Structure 1
Amino acid sequence: MARVRRNPDDARRMILEAAGKLLAAGGPAAVQVRAVAAEVGVTDAAVNHHFGTRDQLLDSLLRFGGTKLKAELHAVLGAWADGPPEPAELVRALAALYADGYAELALALHRSGRRDTGSGLLDEVVDRLHAQARHQCAAAGRTPPLRESIQLTVAALHQAVATEPLFGDEFRRSVGLDETAREHMLDWWTEILRATLAGRD
């Protein structure tokens, strides 16, 4: 059988997509070089050629997740182009990524000493929400929220959905809620964001 030669960028993408499937199915422990290679149909050496070590593969996978999240956020911003922002779309996009294993991966890499030095992932979202809030509040005769208030709300939302897969059930049980309250939590965050954007009388 002839060996298929792939463009290096395509090969890396295929490996990361396969690693992402394993992550979603079994968490970071499931992302082993041999398992990823088997999923793609290449040798362990091919995976190591593109990523070096398993730790480097995991680090690349986390950045790959960040790229996916940016694409989702741009889709959300695009959907807002024809009307006012819909906070539920933002809440759901953030929650969906972390539910696919990226919360566990981020925590595992953090514990191993990795620190994310990047910033501004949600800056464009905050700017868009702030501009829209100012416009709507001016039309309604209300005082618009400060940009910092929107920043704090979005940061708290981001923290909540990122830790949800790790600790959400435990925190809810601590106040007598069960796992069915997860959807209510996402709805609650949507309402909190709407309330922030509404400004004050």
Structure 2
Amino acid sequence: MGTPKTQRRIRRSRDEARQLILAAAEQILRESGPEAVNVRAVATRVGLTDAAVNHHFGTRDELLETLLRHAGRRLKDALDAAAEQWKETGASVRQLVDIMADLYADGSYGELALRLHLSGWRDRGSGMLGTVVTVLHERRSQACVAAGRGAPSMAETQFVVGLLHQTVALDPLFGAPFRFSAGARRSDEPALEQKKKAWTAMFEAALAGEPALAGGE
């Protein structure tokens, strides 16, 4: 018998290892929800030791926070790219709705964000929707000038965009129960495409309408 072959250790850079771990954590999150994301499960999924995962992320809480930021960066990159396109074609609320809804459709990232928030974690970033707000506010301002109205409030544009983000992110978790409270039957739950059309119409109307926030500019 020959000498048994030893398995070669794969050497990865720090960034490669972190991306591999995050990809596995995201897969587990989407399959089973935030509770299933832990160091042991992720390590098993990628063929690493628990210590190796802890080396890159410290604790489970740090892994979860990084995972949420990972999704936030992906959302911001997609929205920034859309905002660049809008400079040529005009801002599209529907495209904004599509990008958000596709990220949050299965409820996993909305639930993760909610759990982290309830545990006391707060995002200290500058706001991933800042570029979108800037472009949409510019469009609002141009529309108000064309209609002979006063300048809209930046605070109101921020409020409307934030409300859209809140609505889309939390709909997979709480949308059906709140619609049920309004008398909608569970069997009449609208398809995602119907929701996207409704959200687009509502928020286009909010952005195009008269100022509604007290104390606006």
Percentage identity across paired residues of the two chains:
50
What is the rounded CA distance, in whole Å, between the counterparts of 1:111 and 1:198 in structure 2?
A: 34
Which has the larger share of helix? 1
The match for 1:104 is 111
What is the rounded CA distance, in whole Å, between the counterparts of 2:60 and 2:51 in structure 1?
A: 12
What is the rounded CA distance, in whole Å, between the counterparts of 1:189 and 1:73 in structure 2?
A: 17
Report which stretch shifted further, 115-124 or 81-90: 115-124
Q: 26, 29, 38: which is aligned to 1:32?
A: 38
Q: List per-residue Cα deviations over 1:58-104 (Å, max 9, x = no partner).
A: 11111111111111112221332321111011112122222351111
SS of the aligned residue for 1:180 comes to coil
CA contact (8 A) 1:104 1:166 kept: yes
Q: CA deviation at 1:164?
A: 1.2
CA contact (8 A) 1:137 1:199 kept: no
CA contact (8 A) 1:145 1:198 kept: no
Q: CA deviation at 1:39?
A: 2.1
The match for 1:92 is 98
CA contact (8 A) 1:133 1:199 kept: no
What does residue range 51-200 of structure 1 map to in structure 2 within 5 Å?
Answer: 51-100=57-106, 101-138=108-145, 140-143=146-149, 145-177=152-184, 178-180=188-190, 182-199=192-209
Give RMSD over aligned pairs: 2.0
Larger C-alpha radius of gyration, 1 or 2? 2
What is the rounded CA distance, in whole Å, between the counterparts of 2:157 and 2:97 in structure 1?
A: 14
Q: Count how many residue pairs are aligned between Structure 1 and Structure 2.
A: 199
Q: List per-residue Cα deviations over 1:30-50 (Å, max 9, x = no partner).
A: 212222122222222211111
Matching residue's letter, 1:88: R
What is the rounded CA distance, in whole Å, between the counterparts of 1:28 and 1:37 in structure 2?
A: 16
CA contact (8 A) 1:149 1:196 kept: no
Gaps of 5+ in 1: none
1:2 aligns with 2:8: yes
CA contact (8 A) 1:145 1:199 kept: no
Report which stretch shifted further, 180-189 or 125-134: 180-189
What is the rounded CA distance, in whole Å, between the counterparts of 2:22 and 2:74 in structure 1?
A: 11
